[in-house]
Structure formats: C-alpha cells, structure tokens
Amino acid sequence: MTEGEGGCLFCKIARGEIPSKKVYEDANVFAFLDINPRNPGHTLVIPKKHAATILEMGEKDVGALYERVRYVAAGVQAGTKADGLSIVQSNGKAAGQVVTHVHVHIIPRYLSEGPVSLEGVLGVKKMADETLDGIAASIKKSIGNGSEETGESDFDF
Ligand code: AMP
Ligand code: ZN
C-alpha cells in the first residue's frame, strides 16, 4: 500500500470497506454507480491500484483500464437503453477532478435531453494558424522526447 492510499475513498470502495452499488469487478478494475448520478446508470470505472491521474499510470495499465471501460460501457448502454454514452475522465483540479483516484465516468445519454456536446463544457477558442502551428510543434516536441516526462512548454496561454 502506498502512502496516502489508506485514506483514499475509491481505494476503500475497491477494497469493499465502503459500500457501493457494484456493477463489475475483476482482478484489476472495479465499477460502481456514481453516488450523484447525472443520469440513471451513471457508472464509474476505477483501477484497483491507486493512481491520482492517468499520467501516474503506465501506458499498459491505462490500456487495460480502457479495455474494461469499453466492456462495462456496453453493459451500461444495454442495461439502461441509452441512446448514447459520454465517457469522461478528468485529471487534476483544473480539469474538475474532485476524487484523486483515477475514475472513468460512463454516463448514459438520451436524445430527448437535448444533448450537450463538448462546447457545453468549454467554449471554442478561435486561434490563428501560426498559433496552432506553435502549439502543435510544442506538443510534438514533448511527445518526441520518448519519455513520459513532458518538459517545459514553449508557448504561453
Ligand atoms: P470527479 O469530479 O471526476 O472527480 O468525479 C467524482 C465523482 O465521484 C462524482 O461524480 C461523485 O458523485 C462521485 N462520488 C463521490 N463519492 C462517491 C461514493 N462514495 N460513491 C460513488 N460515487 C462517489
Ligand atoms: Zn485510491
């Protein structure tokens, strides 16, 4: 057990120390209903191994997590007769993450509710072509490091 993990709400849920409405569990992941559902069937999928954000997880573990997200999502869609699904995962306070244990939201969506797209969360920011080139170059350079460490950003927001 890592430091800080003992007090983590979602670690406790995964260990069964705090009750939850479990819908799926295997050796690596745990899935349960969100206590404040944005729609009926709103489900959270978490890795059993504690990590605050996906950048703290290895690429293979993230891949394995999302394989199971796809598996659980099919059950959520069929079990709720949803018209669609929003699959959302926030990393860090700035992104709106409240619980600091990686969790993927699977939210049933319905055409009848007047769908909110990404624009409903963040407005479009028009940018000049040269600005986009600079941003793409900075990200490309960081990815090209071949390391999970991203280094300094070359542009200002
Ligand atoms: P986020 O804002 O992405 O960190 O979302 C955290 C989610 O965890 C929220 O949607 C909460 O409703 C949900 N949540 C918090 N505590 C519990 C709990 N004990 N059982 C189930 N869901 C929870
Ligand atoms: Zn945890």
- Listed as ranges, residues in the chain with pLDDT below 70 are 1-5, 145-157
Q: Is residue 120 part of a domain?
A: no
Q: Is residue 36 part of a domain?
A: yes
Number of structural domains, the chain? 2
Are the C-beta atoms of 85 and 109 separated by less than 8 Å? yes
Residues 91 and 31 in one domain: yes
Q: pLDDT by residue (tens digit) across 4-22?
A: 567 999 999 999 999 999 9
Residue nearest to atom 12 of ligand 1 (CA): 36
Tell me the residue range of the domain where 98 lies. Answer: 3-115
Which CATH number fits the domain that encloses residue 27?
3.30.428.10
Residue type, position 38, single letter: R
Residue type, position 148, single letter: E
Residues 106 and 133 in one domain: no
Q: pLDDT by residue (tens digit) across 115-141?
A: 778 888 889 999 999 999 999 999 999
**What is the DSSP secondary-structure string of 67-122?**
HHHHHHHHHHHHHHT-SEEEEE---SGGGT--SSS--EEEEEE-GGG----GGGTS
- Distance between CA atoms of residues 44 and 102, nearest Å: 10
Residue nearest to atom 18 of ligand 1 (CA): 35
Residues 88 and 109 in one domain: yes
Ligand 1 and 20: CB distance under 6 A: yes
Residues 131 and 67 in one domain: no
